[in-house]
């Protein structure tokens, strides 16, 4: 439904970077990463200094297991707008996954300073890092139950939890409704 709305809006406003980003996010949820990348890249071509499409590319790359590319995308998004707590958190996660825990922790701490509600997410990240995915999952579920609009939990949980777990993007999406 969201992608249909975006497609209609893009017919009228093909050079609107915000609509391109909304479309890309909808396409991620529809498991159409290549088309989502295309939309995010189109937004970057229109406005290379707009951080959101870089962040979207980072999400796509993480879902595809392309950690190095995700790191570049999240770093660029954070460079363009260092005040976005979500971007800092995602950057921290990819840095940790890249074997750079000190830098990752700094980015996560920056996210918490920018948005103090990140304490619970940080605790879930610690559980995941310590090999306790069930505890991390419980926290993500609590966050989404209290705040269904907490997109950080919905996006990060499937990135951080073991893919063999049942806590998937679909689960997060259904909780976030």
Number of domains in the chain: 1
In a domain? residue 40: no
In a domain? residue 173: yes
What band does 116 get if pLDDT is binned at 50, 70 and 90?
Answer: low
Task: Please answer whether residues 107 and 125 qualify as being in contact, where contact means their C-beta atoms are separated by less than 8 angstroms.
Answer: no
In a domain? residue 123: yes
Decide if pLDDT at 155 tops 60: no
Instruction: Give the count of beta carbons closer than 10 Å to the beta carbon of residue 130.
Output: 10
Could you tell me which residue, 176 or 23, shows the higher pLDDT? 23
Question: Which of 35-39, 74-78, 91-95, 113-117 is predicted least confidently?
Answer: 113-117
In a domain? residue 15: no
**In 30-167, which residue ranges form alpha helices assigned H by DSSP?**
33-46, 51-63, 67-80, 85-97, 101-114, 119-129, 133-146, 151-160
Task: Please answer whether residues 58 and 92 qualify as being in contact, where contact means their C-beta atoms are separated by less than 8 angstroms.
Answer: no
Q: Which domain holds residue 140?
A: 116-177
In a domain? residue 28: no
Instruction: Give the count of beta carbons closer than 10 Å to the beta carbon of residue 113.
Output: 11
Task: Please answer whether residues 149 and 117 qualify as being in contact, where contact means their C-beta atoms are separated by less than 8 angstroms.
Answer: no
> pTM higher than 0.75 for the full model?
no
In a domain? residue 175: yes
In a domain? residue 104: no
In a domain? residue 150: yes
User: Averaged over 66-80, what is the pLDDT?
Assistant: 97
Give me the long-range contacts of 166-174 (CB less than 8 A, separation at least 24).
167/133, 167/137, 167/140, 167/141, 169/29, 169/63, 172/140, 172/144, 173/29
């Amino acid at each position: 439904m969201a992608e249909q709305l975006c497609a209609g809006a893009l017919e009228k406003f093909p050079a609107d970077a915000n609509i391109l980003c909304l479309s890309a996010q909808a396409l991620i949820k529809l498991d159409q990463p290549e088309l989502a990348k295309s939309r995010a890249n189109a937004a970057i071509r229109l406005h290379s200094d707009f951080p959101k499409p870089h962040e979207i590319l980072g999400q796509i790359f993480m879902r595809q297991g392309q950690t190095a590319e995700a790191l570049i995308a999240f770093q660029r998004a954070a460079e363009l707008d260092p005040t976005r707590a979500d971007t800092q958190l995602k950057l921290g996660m990819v840095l940790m996954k890249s074997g750079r825990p000190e830098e990752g922790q700094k980015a996560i701490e920056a996210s918490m300073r920018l948005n103090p509600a990140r304490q619970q997410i940080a605790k879930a990240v610690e559980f995941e890092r310590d090999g306790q995915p069930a505890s991390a999952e419980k926290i993500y579920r609590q966050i989404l139950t209290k705040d269904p609009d907490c997109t950080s939990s919905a996006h990060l949980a499937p990135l951080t939890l073991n893919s063999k777990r049942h806590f998937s993007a679909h689960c997060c999406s259904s909780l976030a409704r």
